[in-house]
A = this chain, B = another copy of it.
């Protein structure tokens, strides 16, 4: 047994605690004040079992009195756990979606003692894998939240699996096996929106698809077709255009649709950015919305109710979805039983003035 002298013979952060402590209190200070060992303090602070009720109280009181805050660096170094969750996202588009994801994730991380780190990515990017790898390494990320469409960028789940980093994918095209998947019923919502237009008398309904990389795109298209089938309306390829979730692609698609010999009386765009592009194009042509053309989108972004006319759209409970994703991820990181996958989240159709009955 080594003959080391006892270290830290008197490690008090603050001789007498007069003013707000000069030096931050450490676990030793708390232990001393509570008259217990540092291990007991550690147990209390980390909610471990095997501490008598009275002991726990004593410790907690000292913690409060000393305003003790565990040192995260020491925690990580000793415990080999960083408590960092990474949120990587595609930087290109609509940020309100990401802001919601971020808010939801943060709301869970903070009280749970986790740090949420953001890392924007630009797609497509051949080096994306290396960027993520570096980020994960540099930031010692324990788990990732993957908002759409990152759960569908094929190499990403592969990389994370290889690095053995768990993740929660929000609305991936296909649920990733063995991982956390947060889904919503936007196919049903898309069908409902389409039916709304049908019931308003629209027979020729144009559709602008979303970015093929997004899982949501296929689902929204599927809902559209399902509604047409249900109402025995013919599905006309000529009324469908490919878009990429951005304003310009929506505008371009609208331009093509409106140039048709028999243009649609309503256009359903796979997100609000594209719908805004449709409105823009309609205005340019002097068309009245919804008088000459009804328009609807998806997402209910901040601007959807602020453009003219306000947009009929579909709202996802993104904040809740992000909260759930983060919660399940933290459970997993903490070794808690992986909670059963919940049912898909419900989307809500928001009816505003950009759609109207066919006059």
Contacts and interface: CB of A to CB of B under 8 A. Distances in A.
A280 interface: yes
A72 B138 CA distance: 8
A279 to B, nearest CB: 7
A124 interface: no
Nearest to A93: B302
A307 interface: yes
Contact of A139 (B3, B115, B120, B139): B115
A137 B76 CA distance: 16
Contacts of A308: 279-280, 283-284, 307-308
A96 B115 CA distance: 23
Contacts of A71: 77
A117 interface: yes
Interface stretch (A9-17, A98-106, A145-153): A98-106
A185 interface: no
Interface size class of A (residues with CB under 8 A): 35 or more
Number of copies of chain A assembled together: 2
A280 B55 CA distance: 64
A75 B73 CA distance: 8
Interface string A1-43: 0111100000000000000000000000000000000000000
A313 to B, nearest CB: 15
A118 interface: yes
Contact of A99 (B74, B95, B280): B95
Contacts of A69: 137-138
Nearest to A94: B302
8 contacts: A3-B3, A69-B137, A73-B75, A77-B77, A103-B120, A273-B306, A276-B307, A307-B308
Given A74-B77, A102-B118, 8 more contacts: A3-B3, A69-B137, A73-B82, A95-B302, A106-B118, A273-B306, A276-B306, A283-B309
